[in-house]
Amino acid sequence: MANSKGDPRVLFVMNLVLSTAFAAVVVWGLDFVGIFPFSVGRVAVAAAVLMVITHLVIR
């Protein structure tokens, strides 16, 4: 059987969705405890950082 790594587009979208969801939960939690306010920009930055870290770890 061949060892398939999967379609890179599917992996990218999965990484985008899961990183964004996790970032939203983390930023919401930080807003809940009063560290800094929730905003879409903060979620986007956190998701981008998580995507880069995930990409570097799996490569």
Mean pLDDT of 29-58: 95
| pLDDT (0 to 100) of residue 30 | 96
Q: Distance (Å, rounded) from C-alpha 45 to C-alpha 50? A: 9
Quickly state the pLDDT bin for 34 (edges 50, 70, 90).
Answer: very high
What is the total count of domains within the chain?
Answer: 1
Are the beta carbons of 13 and 20 closer than 8 angstroms? no
* For residue 27, pLDDT beyond 90: yes
In angstroms, the CA 20 to CA 29 distance is 14
Confidence check: pLDDT of 58 > 60: yes
The answer to the question of residue 47 being in a domain is yes
Determine contact, residues 50/22, Cβ cutoff 8 Å.
Answer: yes
pTM of the prediction? 0.84
Q: Name the residue range of residue 33's domain.
A: 8-58
pLDDT score for 3: 66
- Per the domain annotation, does 3 fall within a domain? no
